[in-house]
Amino acid sequence: MRTTNKVAAVTILFWLMKIVATTLGETLGDFISMTLNLGYTMGILVTLSFFFIILSLQFKLKEYVPAVYWIVIIGTTTLGTEISDFIDRTLKAGYLGGSLILLTGLLTSLFLWYKKYNNLEVYPIFEQTKELYYWTAILFSNSLGTAFGDFLSDNLGLGYLTGACITGGIILIVVMLHYFTKINHVILFWIAFVFTRPFGATFGDLLTKPLTKGGFDLGTVNASLISLVLMIIMIIISQKKHSQNCFVKIKDH
């Protein structure tokens, strides 16, 4: 059994990176399936292959490595986009139906996690089996967030900007509940984790969709590049912070 942590600590930087990663996953997923015209089935195969490769690397590591961890997160958001779109559009389950299917998957994975470990603590994580539950829940939550974001903007006709504002408001409420109430922090984490996905997804749609549909018409390539640059900058910051923390711990010992 490993004794070193494998995942990121939950900080303000974590949430900022999660939002940018979800935006990148949305625009990159749309680039693969729509801009490259590969379709959702082929999109799933491409993103699933990438996800398995980078997740295998994550499992082989003996400790938390920010760059690898966040590439896996991006992998879950990109694959989540393809899974959601495949269920919603190819299988014709619709955004509401897709959201319910993915919500069931998320709740099931969390239930099995809790049944085995009697908790849903997301940090620190040492054991590989628990890490597998962790990534499974994250993949379901990111897929769910995509479907729910599409449900808000399309089915309810709220538009991309309004959808982003609503989900952003929910995230703000969760943050306030975390700091000013005694509600279980693990429950609040998973609520926030799910809702950062539709926030990032609707913001990604806002960047890429044409002006006639209420978007900024940047296209999937430009929006992906902007998100990628921001993500790289924050990964570098995260790596520096991690290295400093490791140095302090070694110095204290």
Q: Which residue's entry shows tokens 């997301």?
A: 122
67 in any annotated domain? yes
- Name the phi and psi angles at 91, rounded to 5: -80, -10
Examine residue 4 and state whether it is found in any structural domain, yes or no: no
CA–CA gap between residue 27 and residue 33 (Å, rounded) = 10
pLDDT at 75 over 90: yes
Mean pLDDT for all residues in the chain: 87
Task: Give mean pLDDT, residues 71-87.
Answer: 92
Residue 1 lies in a domain: no
- Alpha helices (runs of H) in the chain, residue ranges in sequence order: 12-30, 39-60, 66-85, 94-117, 128-150, 160-180, 185-208, 219-252
> Is residue 76 in a domain?
yes
What mean pLDDT do residues 107-129 have? 94
Question: Could you list the residue range(s) of the whole structural domain that residue 218 is in?
Answer: 12-252
* Residue 6 within any structural domain of the chain: no
Domain assignment present for residue 2? The answer is no
Report pLDDT digits (tens) over 180-234.
888 888 889 988 888 888 787 777 777 887 877 777 888 888 888 999 999 999 9
Q: How many residues does the chain have?
A: 253
> Is 1 in contact with 124 (CB distance < 8 Å)?
no
User: What's the structural domain count of the chain?
Assistant: 1
**Statement: residue 102 has pLDDT above 80:** yes
* CA dist., res. 203 & res. 214, Å (int): 11
| Half-sphere exposure in the Cβ direction for 167 (13 Å, CA) | 28
Q: pLDDT digit string (tens) for 8-60?
A: 999 989 999 998 998 898 888 888 988 899 888 899 999 999 999 999 999 99
- 98 occurs within a structural domain: yes
Output the pTM of the full model. Answer: 0.89
